[in-house]
Structure 1
Amino acid sequence: MIIFKSHEALSIIKRYLPKKPIVVEAGAFNGNDTQQMAQLWPHGIIHAFEPVPQLFTTLQKNTSHYDHVHCYSYALSNQNGNARFHVSEKPTKPGIPSQAGSLRAPKERLNYSSMQFPYTISVPTITLDSWAQQHQVNPVDLLWMDVQGHELALLQAGQQLLQTVSVIFTEVGFFENYVGQPGYIDIKNWLERQGFSLIGRDFANMQQLFFGNLLFVRK
C-alpha cells in the first residue's frame, strides 16, 4: 500500500498510464487539478465536468489555453435529466461556491466544519455511459472523482465505460457526510468486484479523518 501526500498523487498515477491518456474528471471545481493534469499530459485529453454555473465559468476561463481540455456543465450521476444540487459556501466567502457542494443533501458534513449549504440549484445530469456514447469516447484511462458522496452512483451508471478504465482516483468519506453517502468500505468492495485493486491512499489512519483519497488500478 502506497501512502502518499495529496500533492504527490498525479506523479504516482502517471506510472500506470500511457503517455497520452484520456482522462475523465468528475467534479472539476475551478480547474486547479485540471490544469495540473493538462500540464502533466500535454498530448492527452482531459474531459472535465463541473455542474455549478459560476464554477463552470471559472473552469472554462482557467483551462481556455489548453486545446486538449474539454469542459462539460453536467453533473455525472446515475440518471440523465436534471437534479437538485446543494451549493456550499464558506461563511467567510458568501456568494462564492466552495468545493463541498453535492447532489446529496449534507448531513454529518455540517457537524465538523463551518461550511454552509444556503441553497440548491437545478443542474443537468448525465450518466458516464450516456456521455461516452454521445461523444464517442472509448477508452478512458483515468477516472478522477471528487463528487462529495455521489461516487458509487456515478460508477454504477458507468459500468460499460468502466470496463475500459485503468486507474481510478476518488475521494471517499468515512462518515455519512451526505445523506445516503456510501462509505469507504462500500466503494472499495464494489470496485474490487469490478476488477480493481486498492494500491494507495493519502491517509495513514482513517479514524482521524472525515474523508480521504484512494487510488485504484485494474488488476
Structure 2
Amino acid sequence: MPESSFLKTPLLFLVFNRPDVTQVVFEKIKQVRPKQLFIAADGPRPHKPGEQEKTEKVRELILQGIDWDCEVKTLFREQNLGCARAVGGAITWFFEHVAQGIILEDDCVPDTSFFSFCETLLDKYADDDQVMHISGLNLHPKTHQTNESYYFSQHPSIWGWATWKKSWDKYDFEMAQLDQLITTPEFSSVFPTEDLKQHLVNQLSGTKNGQIDSWGYRWLYAFWQNQGIGITPKVNLVQNIGFGEDATHTTQPGIERLGIASKSLANLVHPTSKEINRQADAITLKEYFIGKTPLKDSLKNGMKTTIAQLLPKKLKHFIKVNFLKFTPSEEKQLIAQYLPPNPVIVEAGAHVGFDSAQMARYWKKGQLFCFEPIPHIYDQLLENTRYYKNIKTYKLALGEKNGKSDIYVSQGAQNASSSLLAPQDHLEIYPDIKFDEKIEIETVNLDDWAKQAGVSKIDFMWLDLQGFEFPVLNSAPNILKTVTAIYTEVHTQETYTGVTQYVELRQFLEKAGFEVKHEDLSYQEGGNVLFVRKT
C-alpha cells in the first residue's frame, strides 16, 4: 500500500465500556490507517455489574482489529478515575509523545475527510499560538454560506477534534484563575446573551468545585483564559452516536437532536482573515444549550419557567427536595451498598453543603450531622441546606478536644482547603491558593459531641478535614467502634505540617476493624479512600 494512504498525524482514541459504538468509530479509523495509534481507556467502576467484561471487550476488539502496520501505544487503566482525570490525563499522556494530534472519543463517528481536514490545518497553523483548537463538529452548517471551507470560532467542540501540545500545555485542571476570568470583558464578549454566559459560568464553577466531572469544561476554561481561537468546518464532519443511558454526559432528553449526519469536505479553501464568525457562534450556542423544541413543548417549557419564577423560594426548594429526579454521584452509589436505608451520617468539613444536599436527597430517611467551622462558609451551608429536614448543621470543627483553636483559612483559587494544620507542601502544589488569614474557631471532640447529641451509632462518616482526619478519629475511640463506613481524604505528601500520611491512617483503621473498598490516589498529594468495617 502506498505511503500516502496512511494518516501521518498521530491519533488518540478514547474508549471505555461501549463495544458497539466503539466498533463503528474504529471502522472509520481503520479506513485511514494512522501510522501512530494511541488508545486510552479508563478502568471499570467496581459498583457497575458487568462493566469489567465490557471494558475488556472494548480493548480486545481494538487490539485484535489493527490490521495495518502502525505504532501502537496504550494507556489502559485498571482503576476507574472518572471522566475528568481519566480523559484529561490521557490527552496529557498523548502529548508527552507527540507535538500535534487528532482526538476521537468512542461515540464520535467521523467522515473520512475529517482526518485530512485536521491534518492539513494542524500543519498550517502549527506556528500560530492564537489558534488552539480544530473542531470536526458543526451543528449549523447553513450559517456559513461562503466558499471558505471553515470559519474561526470562540466556541470549540470536543466531538472529534485536534490540537497541538503547545496548546494542551495550557490545560489547567485546577482552573486557578476562573474567578478572575469570568469578570473580564473579554470573557463576556464570548457570549451573545447574559443568560448563556451565566449558564457557562455555572458549568465552569461546578467543574472547578468538583460538582461536575468534566475535562471538557476545563479545556474550555484554558481556551478562554488564553483568548484562544478555534476552527469550525463549513459542514459537519463528525456525528455523535453516543446518546442514551450508557453515555457519560449526553443523557438529557432531546439531546439526540445534536447527532446530525456528517458530510464530506475536500479541496480546502482557507479564509483570508481570522475574524470570528459571531453569528454562527451565537446560533450554535443557542442550539446546544437551549435547543429547538416543537411549539407545544416551547409553550409548555415557557409556562414552567413563568410558574417557577412566581413560586416562593421555599416552595421551589420543597419541590426540588421532594419531587425532582436526582442521580447521586458514583462514589455515593458505591457507598450506599454498605449502609442501611436510614443511615446516621456525620459530614465533617461540609463547606457550602454540596455533598450534604446530595446525601440528604439520596438517603431521605437518614439523618445528617454536618460540621463547618468558618463563619462565612457556614452561612452558605446553612442557606443551602435549610430546607432539608434531615440535616442538622453545626458551626464547629471536629477536633481532638473541646475548646477553641486557630484555623488557617484558604483563599484565592478556592476556599475549600482550610485546615487546623499549617499549610506546607500545599503552598507549592497549589500556588494560587493562599493562606493569609488565621482565625479562631470552636472545636468539639467527636465522642463528646455524640454523647451530648444522643447519637449512639454512626453508620457513615464523610471526612474532608484537610489533614486532620486522623486526630479526629484517634480521639474518638468509643463512637468509632460503631461506625460502618468512612469516606475520607488521604495524604501522601506533607501537604500540611504534621499531617498523618495515608499509610499510617490505613494501618490505624485496619487495626480498628476496617478494610479498603475503594481507593482513588489520582491527586498529586493523595486522594480519597472508602473504608468499610469488616463483617
Describe the superposition over 1:123-149 as per-residue Cα deviations: whole angstroms up to 9, x where unpaired.
000010000001111110001100000
**Is residue 524 of structure 2 the alignment partner of residue 209 of structure 1?**
yes
**More RCO (CA 8 Å, sep 6+):** 1
Match of 2:398 among 76, 81, 93: 76
Report the CA distance between 1:202 and its aligned residue: 2.4
The residue that corresponds to 1:187 in the other structure is 505
**Is residue 488 of structure 2 the alignment partner of residue 173 of structure 1?**
no
The residue that corresponds to 2:453 in the other structure is 135
**Is residue 334 of structure 2 the alignment partner of residue 12 of structure 1?**
yes
Which residue identity is paired with 2:496? Y
Match of 1:116 among 417, 434, 441: 434
The residue that corresponds to 1:218 in the other structure is 533
Distance in 1 between residues matched to 2:449 and 2:342, nearest whole Å: 21
Secondary structure of 2:504's aligned partner: helix
Map of 1:84-103 to 2, 5 A cutoff? Answer: 84-91=406-413, 98-103=415-420
Report the CA distance between 1:201 and its aligned residue: 1.5
Report the CA distance between 1:209 and its aligned residue: 2.0
**Is residue 516 of structure 2 the alignment partner of residue 198 of structure 1?**
yes
Report the CA distance between 1:210 and its aligned residue: 1.1
The residue that corresponds to 1:40 in the other structure is 362
Q: TM-score, normalised by structure 2?
A: 0.39
Report the CA distance between 1:157 and its aligned residue: 1.1
Report the CA distance between 1:213 and its aligned residue: 0.2
Secondary structure of 1:155's aligned partner: helix
**Unmatched 5+ residue regions in structure 2?**
1-44, 47-78, 83-212, 214-328
**Is residue 379 of structure 2 the alignment partner of residue 62 of structure 1?**
no
Distance in 2 between residues matched to 1:32 and 1:160, nearest whole Å: 29
Which residue identity is paired with 1:130? D
Report the CA distance between 1:199 and its aligned residue: 1.1
Distance in 2 between residues matched to 1:21 and 1:212, nearest whole Å: 25
The residue that corresponds to 1:162 in the other structure is 480
Match of 1:24 among 339, 346, 368: 346
Which residue identity is paired with 2:442? P
Describe the superposition over 1:137-178 as per-residue Cα deviations: whole angstroms up to 9, x where unpaired.
111000110000001000011110010000000001110100
Which residue identity is paired with 2:444? I
Distance in 1 between residues matched to 2:496 and 2:427, nearest whole Å: 9
Distance in 2 between residues matched to 1:168 and 1:138, nearest whole Å: 17
Secondary structure of 1:37's aligned partner: helix
Q: Please identify the structure whose Cα radius of gyration is greater.
A: 2
Secondary structure of 2:337's aligned partner: helix
Secondary structure of 2:487's aligned partner: strand
The residue that corresponds to 2:303 in the other structure is none
The residue that corresponds to 2:216 in the other structure is none
Secondary structure of 1:111's aligned partner: helix
Distance in 2 between residues matched to 1:53 and 1:158, nearest whole Å: 25
Distance in 2 between residues matched to 1:155 and 1:68, nearest whole Å: 24
Which residue identity is paired with 1:118? D
Secondary structure of 1:202's aligned partner: strand
Distance in 1 between residues matched to 2:410 and 2:510, nearest whole Å: 32
Which residue identity is paired with 1:117? F
Report the CA distance between 1:211 and its aligned residue: 2.1
Which consecutive aligned stretches of 4+ in structure 1 deviate over 3 angstroms post-superposition? 1-7
Which residue identity is paired with 2:448? S
Distance in 2 between residues matched to 1:35 and 1:135, nearest whole Å: 21
For the aligned residue pairs, the C-alpha RMSD in angstroms reads 1.5
Distance in 2 between residues matched to 1:71 and 1:48, nearest whole Å: 5
Distance in 1 between residues matched to 2:504 and 2:350, nearest whole Å: 23
Distance in 2 between residues matched to 1:15 and 1:25, nearest whole Å: 18
Report the CA distance between 1:90 and its aligned residue: 1.5
Distance in 2 between residues matched to 1:199 and 1:38, nearest whole Å: 23
Number of residue pairs the alignment of both structures matches? 211
Query: Once structures 1 and 2 are overlaid, which stretch shifts more, 97-106 or 165-174?
Result: 97-106
Larger strand percent: 1
The residue that corresponds to 1:94 in the other structure is none
Distance in 2 between residues matched to 1:159 and 1:31, nearest whole Å: 27
**Unmatched 5+ residue regions in structure 1?**
92-96
**Is residue 413 of structure 2 the alignment partner of residue 104 of structure 1?**
no
